[in-house]
Amino acid sequence: MIHIPKGTKDVLPSESRLWHYIEDTARSVAKDFRLLEIRTPVFEHTELFLRGVGDTTDIVNKEMYTFLDKGGRSITLKPEGTAGAVRSFIENGLFNEPMPLKTYYFTPVFRYERPQAGRLREHHQFGIEMFGSPSAAADAELISAAYTLFNRLGVCGLELCINSIGCPECRPKYHAALKEYYKAHEDKLCPVCLERLEKNPLRILDCKEEGCIAVNQGAPSTLDYLCEECNAHFTELKQTLTALGIPFTVNPRIVRGLDYYTKTVFEFVSGDLGAKSTVCGGGRYDNLVASLGGNPTPAAGFGLGLERLLLLMQNLNLPFGEPDGVTLYIAPLGEKALLPAKKLAYDLRKAGVSVETDLMARSLKAQMKYADKINARYVLVLGEDELNSGKSN
């Protein structure tokens, strides 16, 4: 017996309708926000993630599935969706489209990490990436799209946490303040964070080790080091969210786990998955397009874990719509009715009617039970008398 790899999961036929319900709802939100679908490959050149995601992140250092292909090229299964969307934006000249360009996608992502509830080594994301607008209003629209999706699904109790991590203008001052603070607490930092202290102290704020979490409670706040432009941008974001009626909490400890973010970062977190878990996270990445070889282009986006969202909905006992049924079940009675039943079923299917008929040589009684199990709305019994008369029951 060959078993499924650790950290992966089969989506069984009985579960697929739950996925369809979430995906269909997300597509309806995308339509209302005029988002256009983009699809990128499951694997990319490794350099894309080294330059895009950042070589100081856990994703790059610990979690990527990287291998050499038969041509000796280093290839990586995508660990997140943004870098591939940005690569496509540049490579396919999408910057020539009217701005803002607002895109969405569904994608599998792969991270070699300890499997946990709602987060597997292969999991799936619904993501939105918006290119062209530097405005905090674009960040608010991005957040409002996620908020709208949660509302349509009936998901309540999520907390929206926002922060600003500044820009290349003001972040060096904050980094210097972090280094000075952490230098005084080096004995309490984990070995990984001791390395981060020199390379990127901002990453320490994202550490999940208990000792580092305790040290982080007294760390300087990024909000105290924002330049005038970043402060105005963050103020506009808060004002816009307030005007939209979207509640939020300012959390200066949020930095997200990717190096490309600038200014706005945000998370929707839930306490209904055990410990507080991030269901959706994202922010602004104004420098990523240029760092990957494109013209400077402001952008923002988010990723939402579908497994985690599905688990949350199940924990909240939320409905997933009505189970799929079939409009008509044709029950052939006797051998002479088998081919006419199949022909009638085929003709109706071509006309767009959902039809099922017997493929298991069941008795009429057994067919009636089966029709009930598959939620057939109507049953048509087709026997010799019906064929001779041209009428059916």
pLDDT of residue 323: 81
On whether residue 6 sits in a domain, the answer given is no
pLDDT of residue 197: 87
Q: Are 295 and 284 in contact (CB under 8 A)?
A: no
On whether residue 102 sits in a domain, the answer given is yes
- Domain match, 137 and 247 both: yes
- Domain match, 233 and 330 both: no
- Domain match, 269 and 346 both: no
Q: What's the domain count of the chain? A: 2
Closest CA to 226 of 284, 172, 301, 287: 172
Cα dihedral 220, 168, 60, 277 sign: positive
pLDDT of residue 275: 65
- Domain match, 146 and 237 both: yes
Cα dihedral 31, 35, 38, 44 sign: negative
- Domain match, 298 and 366 both: no
On whether residue 163 sits in a domain, the answer given is yes
On whether residue 209 sits in a domain, the answer given is no
- Domain match, 308 and 333 both: no
On whether residue 271 sits in a domain, the answer given is yes
Count of Cβ atoms closer than 10 Å to residue 291 Cβ: 15
Q: What is the largest CA-CA distance in the chain?
A: 94
- Give the end of a domain, one of 258, 288, 315: 315
pLDDT of residue 41: 98
Q: Are 354 and 377 in contact (CB under 8 A)?
A: no
Tokens in use for 219? 């760390």
- Domain match, 272 and 339 both: no
Calculate the alpha carbon distances from 107 to 79, 147, 314 in Å: 10, 20, 22
- Alpha-carbon distance of 109 to 293, in angstroms, equals 23
- Domain match, 163 and 259 both: yes
Written in H, E and C, the secondary structure of the chain is CCCCCCCCCCCCHHHHHHHHHHHHHHHHHHHHCCCEECCCCCEEEHHHHHHHCCCCCHHHHHHCCEEECCCCCEEEECCCCHHHHHHHHHHCCHHHCCCCEEEEEEEEEECCCCCECCECCEEEEEEEEEECCCCHHHHHHHHHHHHHHHHHHCCCCCEEEEEECCCCCCHHHHHHHHHHHHHCCHHHCCHHHHHHHHHCHHHHHHCCCHHHHHHHCCCCCHHHHCCHHHHHHHHHHHHHHHHHCCCCEECCCCCCCCCCCEEEEEEEEECCCCCCEEEEEEEECCCHHHHCCCCCCCEEEEEEEHHHHHHHHHHCCCCCCCCCCEEEEEEECCHHHHHHHHHHHHHHHHCCCCEEECCCCCCHHHHHHHHHHCCEEEEEEECHHHHHHCCCC
In degrees and rounded to multiples of 5, residue 259 shows phi and psi of -75, -15
Cα dihedral 207, 209, 212, 218 sign: positive
**Pairing mode, if any, of strands 326-332 and 299-305?**
unpaired
Q: Where do we find the tokens 């990287």?
A: 66
Q: Are 321 and 303 in contact (CB under 8 A)?
A: no
In CATH, what number is assigned to the domain containing residue 353? Answer: 3.40.50.800
- Domain match, 378 and 234 both: no
- Domain match, 239 and 360 both: no
Q: Are 355 and 348 in contact (CB under 8 A)?
A: yes
On whether residue 158 sits in a domain, the answer given is yes
What is the block-wise mean pLDDT of the chain (393 residues), using blocks of 10 residues? 94 94 98 98 95 78 92 96 97 97 97 85 97 98 98 95 94 90 90 86 84 90 95 98 98 82 95 80 95 96 96 94 90 93 97 97 96 95 78 59
Q: Are 318 and 270 in contact (CB under 8 A)?
A: no
On whether residue 113 sits in a domain, the answer given is yes
- Give the end of a domain, one of 315, 345, 367: 315
Domain range for 368 is: 326-389
On whether residue 385 sits in a domain, the answer given is yes
In CATH, what number is assigned to the domain containing residue 276? Answer: 3.30.930.10
pLDDT of residue 142: 98
Q: Are 296 and 89 in contact (CB under 8 A)?
A: no
- Domain match, 104 and 243 both: yes
pTM of the model: 0.91
- Alpha-carbon distance of 32 to 35, in angstroms, equals 8
- Give the end of a domain, one of 254, 289, 315: 315
- Domain match, 102 and 236 both: yes
Q: Where do we find the tokens 């509302």?
A: 151
